[in-house]
Structure 1
Amino acid sequence: MLDVRFSSALKAMLLLGHAEEQGSPVLSSTQLARSLNTNPSLVRKLMVPLVQDGLVASIKGRSGGVRLGRSADQITLGEIYRSAIGDKPLWAPRAEGPRECLVTNHSAEYFARLTDETEAAALSALAGRTLADSLDELRAIDRAS
């Protein structure tokens, strides 16, 4: 099964950034759940690491919810990725079998190196883009439509 934590966290963060731009910076888990096509309980679970990492601030009370923890131009997509995914590797390796040849002797080490290199490249790309940049890209897509 594909892991949708990053895409869900990114969409939620974009929704919060857009809401802040529109003058309504606090969104409830119900509002976010509707936009993410999921349930509020799942949204609250998704928010836990984002709140712990200071990317999102939780507002308690009757009109509570969540808002961005910092301005959108100070939050990178790399931070969102790391917060949402944690230490889970990009890909899972196959279980090792008998060591019989060049491939079976070294494929696990090769795969680990390949995964590290690929993840570093992805994180580098995400680190160079802020939430504000992403909102600008969404506006450009909207204008082009």
Structure 2
Amino acid sequence: MLDVRFSSALKAMLLLGHAEEQGSPVLSSTQLARSLDTNPSLVRKLMVPLVQDSLVTSIKGRSGGVRLGRPADRITLEEIYRSAIGDKPLWAPRPEGPRECLVTNHSAEYFLRLTDETEAAVLAALAGRTLADSLDELRAIDRAGGTPAPERQLSAPSR
């Protein structure tokens, strides 16, 4: 099953950053759930590590909710990723079987090295982007007439 914790956390953080820019920095779990097409209970669970890592601040009470824990230009996508995913590896290795040849003797070690290298590249790419940068990218897509995701046709990326 595909893990959507990072994409969900990133979208929630983008919604909070946008709300802050619009002058309404506090969003309830119900508001976030509507935008994430899920239920408020799942949003509250998603917020727990983000609050623990001070990326989000929780406001208690009747008009409570969550808001960014610091300015969007001081929150990197790497921080959001690490908070949402925790120490779960990017890929899960296959269970080891009998060691009978070059492949079965060394594939687990090779896979571990490949995973480490790939995770380092992903984290480096995310570390170079802030939440504010991402909001700017969304505005650029909007200005260029980007189609909202549900209406977009799925196609192979152009190279």
Taking structure 2 as the reference length, what is the TM-score of the superposition? 0.90
SS at match of 1:78: helix
> 1:12 offset after TM fit, Å?
0.0
> 1:109 offset after TM fit, Å?
0.5
* Partner Cα separation in structure 1 for residue 133 and residue 88 of structure 2: 26
> 1:65 offset after TM fit, Å?
0.1
SS at match of 1:79: helix
What is the Cα-based RMSD across aligned positions, in Å?
0.2
Structure 2 residues without counterparts, runs of 5 or longer: 144-159
Superposition pairs of residues 51-130 of structure 1, within 5 angstroms:
51-130=51-130
Identity of aligned residues (%): 93
Q: How many residues align?
A: 143
1:25-47, CA deviations, whole angstroms, 9 ceiling, x for partnerless residues? 00000000000000000000000
Structure 1 residues without counterparts, runs of 5 or longer: none
> 1:50 offset after TM fit, Å?
0.2
Which 4+ runs in 1 deviate beyond 4 A?
Answer: none
1:57-112, CA deviations, whole angstroms, 9 ceiling, x for partnerless residues? 00000100000001000000000000000000000000100000111000000000
SS at match of 1:67: strand
Taking structure 1 as the reference length, what is the TM-score of the superposition? 0.98
Higher percent of residues as helix: 1
